[in-house]
């Protein structure tokens, strides 16, 4: 196709509203892909995705996207992180040095004015000592001044204290609260509730429990037994919302997966569709041009592949070899080369073959290959472009389908893999709808973009359709 014709086609396209919408969608998705590749380098994305909790330990688990607070009356908490290594976070550390034993005091003051409880509470330590580890006490001070002793512990070189799953503490707090309210709390109240709740009758049911808003403070007092000894700590009050996309069960920022899903989905879809269409066309052209045995053989090959069930064979190969997405692409192409498209294209080529200009080409002595590649294929090319664009959608969804079956790429994050994670971790049962809806929305958008464009192209390249 010449440039002129391409421009003409583009002008025609703009006449269709659906094509314009489709083009806009595709521009958005392509923009997203480019942004993803530039903003998050490949290695970093894979690291964040594979290592999960090791990288994103500071993120809340299964948190909704932050913008959900716009629509809610009860504002969900954001995550609060305070680190003695980062003074600007509000954490305070003081050491009273001495020749033998030093005292250390760490304070984490913070304000908590949200309408819902935090999802978790964790404390992390790094201590520096040669033989004798520091010994600390941890206290919790509520806005009303009440002080609660959380724990006394020895801090190892890297240590952590998961407050929200400390059963002993939970039992103690439950008893204390029951005494204060004058009635036994009838459920297993987790520490992040008892530490943040208003201490009255509302606490008797988890649904009615209310957050005591105001200034909280955690105080860590300890003894360092060596002269060179030091200790740093980080308090994470995990929220229930995170970032633009939320997080999954491994605390991973879904944004990374959503962004990186775009270039992968688009390139997988386009590569598969283009390579398959072209190889099918070449096979069909060869089959139609040579006829006889070649035709017979190639036609039998298409019947052969018609009987072979595509998805089960693909699944078996994928399971056995634990394929990366790009090897998977090669297998998909290999299994589809002799697909039903060959028969359709062959019928077109049989008509083209009889046209006078082919005869003219033969007359001047053009070889077989020259006729196939220079005269027959260019003639049919425009008619297959619409179906080529249309089939991109189906390959984008094929990748998602394989991921749903648990056969996605083991390394790269894709939209299908996010949906699969959400599905297998019961996102629908537990109400984490954002987890399914976000990747689904992008999948639908991508496939609609290609479909709208494809349908419009179909009307342009197959004018018989546009008349009716």
Partner 1 sequence: MRRELFAFLKYAAKRIITLIIVVVLAIYATILVANMGGYVDEIIKAQTRDSIYTSVFQNPAYQHLSTEEKKQLAEQLYQIEIEALGLDKPFIYRSGGYLISALSLNLGRATYLTSDSGSTAVRNIIAERLPATILLFTTINLTLFFLSLVGGLFLSRKYGSKLDKAVVTLSPFSSIPGWFYGIFFILIFAAWLRWLPYGGLVDVPPPANPFDYALSVLKHMVLPIFSWLVAYSFVQTYTKRTFFLMFSSEDYVEMAKAKGLPPRLIERRYILKPTLPPIITEFALTLIGSWMGAIVTERVFNWPGIGTLFYQAAMFMDSPVIIGEVTIYAYLLAITVFILDIVYAIVDPRIRIGVSGA
Residue numbers at the binding site for partner 1 (CB under 8 A): 18, 22, 291, 300, 303-304, 306-309, 311-313, 315-317, 319-320, 346-347, 350, 390, 393-394, 397, 400-401, 404-405, 419, 423, 428-429, 431, 433, 436-437, 440, 443-444, 447-448, 450-452, 454-455, 464-465, 467-468
Residues 454/459/464/468 CA torsion (nearest 10 deg): 120
Residue recorded with tokens 């990366």: 324
Query: Are 124 and 238 in contact, with CB atoms under 8 Å apart?
Result: no
**DSSP for residue 371:** I
- Report the residue number, 16 or 114, with the smaller CB distance to partner 1: 16
- Report the residue number, 190 or 454, with the smaller CB distance to partner 1: 454
Phi and psi at residue 217, to the nearest 5°: -150, 135
Phi and psi at residue 182, to the nearest 5°: 85, 15
Chain-centre distance of CA 6, in angstroms? 36
- Report the residue number, 96 or 313, with the smaller CB distance to partner 1: 313
Separation of alpha carbons 104 and 133, rounded Å: 13
Minimum separation from the CB atom of position 426 to partner 1 (A): 10
Cα Rg, the chain, nearest whole Å: 32
What are the structure tokens assigned to 336, written together? 């589809």
Query: Are 128 and 229 in contact, with CB atoms under 8 Å apart?
Result: yes
Minimum separation from the CB atom of position 433 to partner 1 (A): 6
Minimum separation from the CB atom of position 393 to partner 1 (A): 4
Minimum separation from the CB atom of position 327 to partner 1 (A): 16
- Report the residue number, 220 or 398, with the smaller CB distance to partner 1: 398
Ramachandran region, residue 92 (left: φ > 0; alpha: ψ -120 to 50; beta: rest): beta
- Report the residue number, 79 or 393, with the smaller CB distance to partner 1: 393
Minimum separation from the CB atom of position 301 to partner 1 (A): 9
Separation of alpha carbons 10 and 294, rounded Å: 38
For the chain, the helix, strand and coil percentages under 3-state DSSP, each to the nearest 5: 55, 15, 25
- Report the residue number, 128 or 466, with the smaller CB distance to partner 1: 466
- Report the residue number, 60 or 269, with the smaller CB distance to partner 1: 269
Minimum separation from the CB atom of position 155 to partner 1 (A): 44
Query: Are 80 and 239 in contact, with CB atoms under 8 Å apart?
Result: yes
- DSSP per residue, 426-437: THHHHT-HHHHH
Query: Are 189 and 87 in contact, with CB atoms under 8 Å apart?
Result: no
Minimum separation from the CB atom of position 122 to partner 1 (A): 30
**How crowded is residue 59: how many other Cβ atoms within 10 Å of its Cβ?**
22
- Report the residue number, 202 or 424, with the smaller CB distance to partner 1: 424
Minimum separation from the CB atom of position 28 to partner 1 (A): 16
């Amino acid at each position: 196709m010449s440039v002129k014709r391409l421009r003409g086609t583009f002008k025609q396209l703009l006449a269709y509203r659906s094509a314009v919408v489709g083009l806009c969608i595709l521009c958005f998705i392509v923009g997203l892909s480019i942004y993803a590749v530039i903003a998050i380098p490949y290695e970093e994305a894979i690291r964040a995705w594979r290592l999960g909790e090791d990288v994103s330990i500071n993120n809340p688990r299964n948190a909704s996207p932050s913008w959900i607070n716009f629509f809610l009356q009860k504002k969900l908490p954001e995550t609060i992180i305070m680190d003695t290594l980062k003074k600007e976070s509000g954490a305070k550390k003081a050491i009273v040095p001495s020749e033998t034993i030093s005292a250390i005091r760490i304070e984490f003051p913070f304000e908590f004015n949200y309408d819902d409880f935090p999802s978790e509470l964790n404390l992390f330590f790094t201590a520096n000592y040669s033989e004798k580890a520091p010994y600390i006490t941890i206290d919790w001070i509520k806005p009303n001044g009440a002080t609660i002793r959380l724990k006394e512990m020895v801090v190892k070189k890297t240590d952590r204290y998961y407050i929200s799953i400390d059963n002993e503490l939970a039992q103690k707090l439950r008893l204390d609260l029951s005494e204060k309210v004058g009635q036994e709390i009838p459920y297993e109240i987790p520490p992040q509730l008892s530490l943040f709740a208003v201490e009255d009758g509302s606490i008797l049911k988890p649904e009615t429990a209310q957050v005591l808003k105001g200034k909280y403070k955690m105080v860590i007092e300890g003894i360092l037994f060596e002269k060179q000894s030091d200790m740093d700590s980080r308090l994470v009050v995990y929220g229930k919302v995170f970032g633009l996309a939320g997080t999954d069960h491994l605390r991973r920022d879904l944004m990374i997966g959503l962004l990186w899903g775009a270039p992968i989905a688009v390139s997988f879809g386009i590569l598969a569709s283009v390579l398959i269409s072209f190889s099918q066309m070449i096979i069909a052209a060869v089959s139609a041009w040579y006829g006889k045995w070649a035709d017979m053989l190639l036609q039998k090959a298409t019947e052969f592949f018609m009987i072979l069930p595509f998805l089960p064979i693909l699944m078996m190969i994928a399971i056995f070899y634990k394929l990366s997405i790009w090897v998977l692409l090669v297998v998909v192409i290999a299994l589809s080369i002799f697909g039903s498209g060959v028969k359709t294209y062959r019928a077109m080529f049989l008509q083209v073959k009889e046209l006078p200009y082919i005869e003219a080409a033969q007359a001047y002595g053009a070889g077989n290959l020259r006729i196939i590649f220079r005269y027959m294929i260019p003639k049919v090319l425009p008619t297959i472009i619409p179906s080529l664009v249309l089939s991109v959608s189906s390959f984008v969804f094929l990748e998602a389908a394989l991921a749903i079956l648990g056969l996605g790429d083991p390394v790269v994050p894709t939209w299908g893999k996010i949906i699969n994670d959400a599905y297998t971790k019961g996102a629908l049962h537990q109400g984490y709808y954002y987890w399914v809806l976000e990747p689904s929305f992008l999948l639908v958008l991508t496939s609609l973009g290609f479909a709208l464009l494809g349908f419009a192209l179909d009307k342009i390249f197959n004018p018989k359709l546009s008349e009716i």
